[in-house]
Structures are given as structure tokens and as C-alpha cells.
Structure 1
């Protein structure tokens, strides 16, 4: 009787461990689908830095990077005039809240606060003194990488890949 209970207990424990391992595996796969560029492919040759980004499953270019040496996740947005940062990340990223202004976003009109990014990096690409704004209407942790940064780069899209090069 005791051995039967012990056997059932061991089977349950094995199932729980197996399900836990499957959960970890699928969680990692899902994260790669949302951001296949957590550590972007990057190189530097003759003073030209290059980063290759793969589209995520939704067709967007999402990449790991850094603002003022703090790790962040960027979503490239050529339709955004400036880099747009969720307000709740300002202190963590050492960003100062400047003058307010109104901007038109995909979600409507929003009051934002101007700021400057001292250093922005994606792989080997490093940009300095970038105009940006802090957006209190953004609640996730993703940063929209707008044209205030992208205009300093050359970018080429082929298939599901986007190549960024510093100018």
C-alpha cells in the first residue's frame, strides 16, 4: 500500500517536472518569436558598424539595445518623428523631463515631455545626443525607435531582414 502511494507520488512529481520544463522551453520559443533580435547580429568594419535585424512574427523589427548603458527593447518605427520612451522608464534610463508638447500618435493626441538621450546603442551602432520624448501614455517597456535616431543610419530591407549601418 505504501509503495503504491509512493509510486503514484513519484509519477506526479515526474509529470510536474516535465510540464515545468516544457513551459520553460515554450516560453523561450515565444520570446524569440516576439523579439528574435534580443542580441542583434552586429559587426564593425572600416569604421562602419552594421546590425542585421530579423522581422518578428508580426512583421515588426524589434531589437535589444541600450539607452545610457541600460538595457532596453526597441521597436523600429519609421513613422515616429522622435524616439518615444514610456515615462515610467525615465529615471531608470537617466533621462530628464523637459518642456511639454502635444503629439499625434496612433492612439490619439498625447502630451509628452522632451528629453535628450546621451547614448543609444544597438549592437555595434552607437548614437549620441538624440532628441526623444517621454510619453506617459505608453505603459509597456518597449521604446519606439523613431526618425530622430534612424535618420542617422542607412537602412536596407531584404525579405524578412533589415540591415542598419551608421553613416
Structure 2
């Protein structure tokens, strides 16, 4: 085998290596997108602060939860809609980033038991173009992560209907 054949063989091996690396990178990218879509199917939901797009329809994620983008005081957040929560519950680390002021100390009874936190008032909470002002909330130092539990202090504005994998939020009918 002469030196020209060796050079061509090295180029061929290099090109094959580049091909397989690109193919693996494409596979990893595709798989990550698939997982993200299954865990956060409402990621592309409109988060504008303008006119509401009612009704709001959300898809259940692979874990069985309704998760959607929104905002608190103009800052983007990820909401987990929780009809069992009385207040909008914000993790302590996220509350600091959002500049929320802790109010009175309070005990909260959660699925994980009793937790101590602080009451607070959220100037503005938005989901799907629906904006509410002066929403009661809580700051929960024991909550981890950046997901906010969107409780009934915001959700009471809607008639909530769950059918299969969809939750539909429609304007609440006056009593």
C-alpha cells in the first residue's frame, strides 16, 4: 500500500467518523426534542400580555400534569396548573429572582404534608393572554425547582373542564 492509498484511507475513515458523529448528534437532538415535547406539550402556547385567546386549551404531559408557560410580574415562568392549591405557590429561589416581598408567615397543608412559607401579593399573573392583577400567592422556601403551582387564586376566573388529555379554561359564568 503506497502513501497515496494510506492518505485516501485516512480521509475515508475521517469522513466516516464525521458522518457517525453527526448522525449521533442528530439522534440526541431529536430524542431531546421528543422528551421535551412529551414533558412540556404546551411550550409554544402564546404568552402575550395582550388580548386573551379564550378558551385556553392545554394538553396533559407524559406525567399526567398540565404545564404551561406564563408570567408573574412580567417575568416568564413555568406553571403547573393545580386546582387543589388555594394560592399561586412560588418556590423560594424563584420568588427571590422575581423580587417578591414575603408577607406574613403561614402554614400550608400540601400533598407532602405541612409546610411553612409566606403570604405574598402578585402584582400580575398571566396565562394564555389572560392577565390578573393583585393575585394572592405564597412563597414556599421548601419547594424546589422553578415551576410555579398555579392555584385557585388565579384559576377561579375560569370554568375548568378536563376531558381525556385536555384541560379547557373558559371564562367563568357569573353566578
TM score, norm. by length of structure 2: 0.86
Residue 47 of structure 1: how far off its partner (Å): 7.8
Larger mean Cα displacement after TM superposition, 78-87 or 2-11: 2-11
Equivalent of 1:13, from 8, 13, 18?
A: 18
What is the RMSD computed on CA atoms of the aligned residues? 2.0
Residue 77 of structure 1: how far off its partner (Å): 0.8
Mapped pair 1:162 → 2:172: no
The residue aligned with 1:125 is: 130
CA distance in structure 1 between the partners assigned to 2:133 and 2:8 by the alignment? 68
The residue aligned with 2:98 is: 93
Mapped pair 1:62 → 2:64: no
Sort the Cα spacing of 1:47 and 1:84 in 2 relative to 1 into closer, same or farther, 3 A.
Answer: closer
The residue aligned with 1:3 is: 8
What are the ranges of 5 or more consecutive residues in structure 2 without an aligned counterpart?
1-5
Q: Is the 8 A contact 1:40 1:52 kept in 2?
A: no
Q: Is the 8 A contact 1:36 1:55 kept in 2?
A: yes
Equivalent of 1:39, from 44, 47, 63?
A: 44
CA distance in structure 1 between the partners assigned to 2:142 and 2:53 by the alignment? 36
Structure with a larger share of its residues in strand: 1
Q: Is the 8 A contact 2:52 2:129 kept in 1?
A: no
CA distance in structure 1 between the partners assigned to 2:99 and 2:73 by the alignment? 7
What are the ranges of 5 or more consecutive residues in structure 1 without an aligned counterpart?
none
1:42-53 pair list within 5 angstroms = 49-53=54-58
Q: Deviations over 1:65-123 (max 9, x none)?
A: 11111111111111111111111011322311112111121222211111111111111
- Aligned pairs, how many? 164
CA distance in structure 1 between the partners assigned to 2:52 and 2:7 by the alignment? 71
CA distance in structure 1 between the partners assigned to 2:163 and 2:81 by the alignment? 16
SS at structure 1 position matched to 2:160: strand
Q: Is the 8 A contact 2:52 2:128 kept in 1?
A: no
Q: Is the 8 A contact 2:56 2:169 kept in 1?
A: yes
Rg comparison, structure with higher value: 2
